[in-house]
Structure 1
Amino acid sequence: MELLLDQDGISADALNVKALADAAGITRSALYSDHYSPLKDEFLRRAQALSAKGPQQNYDSDKLLRRIKRLESRLRQQTTAAEELKLFRTQAISRIAAQHEALLRCRGQDNYKGADERRSHKASIRPESVTSHPDRPTF
């Protein structure tokens, strides 16, 4: 009887003698006997009182609905954070790639300038007499 009366969302039409008999595991006609008559009367009285109050939401269902809303909110926040992190990662990778390209360009220019400077520096170190001597071959 308690199981039937405490169910959420059960209509007043479902709270009848047949449902009580099915829940108790006895026949419906047995509920009309003197043995089960007080049980039937108590059940019908409480069922009418519940239907007069109207639909009542259970505390557990309210609690679950609040929890669902909190979890949905957290999910939205975490999804937003994940999208922001993906964008940050993409931007960071493109910045690193741009810096790498700039470094390669700088190194390439430095290497080219360095080779010219080294050649001109070596030429200025060698004395004219060594390079222009007619008896010695030029290497």
Structure 2
Amino acid sequence: MRISAAQRTENENRIRAAMDRLLRGEIPPGGKCDIKTLAAEAAVDRTAFYGTRPYAHLRIEFERRLNAKRAAGEVPDPREAQVARLKTENLKLRERLTQSAQTIDELTDFRTQALARLAAQHEEIVHLRGTAAAANHVTRLPAARTTTIGTCS
């Protein structure tokens, strides 16, 4: 079905208005900042944006403006920004998890070594006490006297 020049101009104006809204971040519920949503918002068939169809130049303009905004660090679609933020946060949390697992492994190794050393020292003390008890040439020292120091006033 052919459309008149006036209808085509009206459609282009609706497309440009929808394009501006989407690029400002006014994304409708369930939509994205893409050609499908642009076509739905402008009430134009999506296929009219591809190939040699009448609005292919507007698709190119929309994609150029969208890429320029992205290159400038602006993300018109809040879901895209949220996905990017969550991916970054996920990566940081994975790094922290890896670091925590490494620290736990190091501390577990340290604990194992410390317990082994304590057990070896205990065995040595038990052995030395047994040796000392068997040989009667060890003189025991008297118990330490506790003295209290008076305070001067």
Structure 2 length-normalised TM: 0.46
Structure 1 length-normalised TM: 0.49
In our comparison, the structure showing a higher alpha carbon Rg is 1
